[in-house]
Amino acid sequence: MLILRRVAIACGSHTAAGWTVGYSGCIMSAPAPLDPIQLTRELVAIESTTYQEGAVGDFLAKLLSSRGWDVQKSAVPQPEESGASGPRWNVYAAPPQVSPLLVFSTHMDTVPPYIPLREDESFLYGRGVCDAKGIIATQIAAAEILRTDGLPVGLLFVSGEERDSAGAKLANERPVGSRYLINGEPTDNRLAVASKGTLRAVLRSYGKMAHSAYPELGESAVHKLVEALAKVLKIDLPVTEDVGPSTLNIGQIHGGYAPNVIADKAEAQVMTRLVGDSAPVRAAILEAASGLAEVDFTLEIPFLRMKEVPGLPTMVAKFTTDIPWLSNWGEPLLLGPGSIHVAHTPHERVSKAELLEAVQLYTRVARQLLA
């Protein structure tokens, strides 16, 4: 016996303040089930390093529209320093005439360089397979299952997460009233109960240029900076018992002109991963640099605790996400297939089985939240 399921989806246009360029979905029957592995392949084939998200945004908008979603695209401005001129988007989708109570979200951009797709029997390899195009595919597959069951879910895919979260910050100005936000990042399909914050600082030292044969005639900015950084590395960083320690990395050092020149300026970039309030870390860095370097705190993303769901394995995300910039989209959860240990590397990969498992996990979590 062949049974045809029909889905009652009305024609019309779901609108939300601030969202533009709409695609109105209108279908009478449920589309064929979406294959998240095949969709991951198609997404990875579209290069979308940060500032070049236009093509993948267009692809997702057309795909979702063809499958009966009302889709809205919102332009994300190009910063001058990007050197790019093409369009970039946020893409939001919801069932026609439905205001979602739960929204799945992740980012469309990837880090450079672009790595073409390859695969074997068990894994997909390439830029974005786990961070975060495989996540996009599994979220869409899960959302379609939930939509068929009549649950009010939506989708939000943003630009710029890998650099400055520009897309998330723009989307946060245009919320749709959702109660929950399930953000996708590689967590090995474990629910993150906390996400470390970030504090970025620039230390700048200044001195007086001179010939290195006569150091008494100059003052080395490099020597002062090295002394300050040695003190920074000895800072007793905060620890939170159920999360772990804060960590600190000196990622970049620049200064000087040549080995035989006393440097008159030097600079270092320092990043701390926070497990609590940033105030004691700020104070300790300022004290370490006192009299040796100026300190400019250029970025802070707060430490976050997130909602737990009974019965799911958990983890602590030592990395930061778009979640702090999407506070108006509901209570956050963090969950996704793939390992952060291979994201941003030449060996980025994701298990095909893990992608299929993620679809089941996303649907399970959404049903529990919306029960």
- The DSSP annotation for 22-91 comes to EE----SBPPPPP-HHHHHHHHHTS--BTT--HHHHHHHHHHHHHTT-EEEEEE-PPPGGG---S--EEE
φ, ψ at 258 (rounded to 5°) = -165, 160
- CB-based contacts of 250, cutoff 8 Å, min separation 6: 229, 232, 233, 268, 269, 270
Which pair of tokens denotes residue 10? Answer: 């009305």
Q: For residues 248 and 335, what is the distance between their CA atoms, to the nearest angstrom?
A: 25
Query: Where would I find the H helices in the chain?
Result: 36-44, 54-66, 133-148, 166-172, 221-232, 279-289, 352-370
DSSP character at residue 163: T
CA atoms within 13 Å, Cβ hemisphere of 364 = 14
Catalytic site residue 161? yes
Burial level of 159, CB count in 10 A (0-12/13-18/19+)? buried
Contact call for residues 176 and 74 (beta carbons, < 8 A): no
Q: For residues 50 and 162, what is the distance between their CA atoms, to the nearest angstrom?
A: 7
The single-letter code of the amino acid at 334 is L
Strand locations in 108-246, DSSP E?
118-119, 123-125, 153-158, 180-183, 191-195, 197-206, 210-211, 239-240, 244-245
Q: 161, 185, 348, 354: which one is catalytic? A: 161
How many angstroms separate the first and last alpha carbons of the chain? 32
Contact call for residues 43 and 63 (beta carbons, < 8 A): no
Contact call for residues 42 and 59 (beta carbons, < 8 A): yes
Q: For residues 335 and 98, what is the distance between their CA atoms, to the nearest angstrom?
A: 24
Residues known to be catalytic = 161
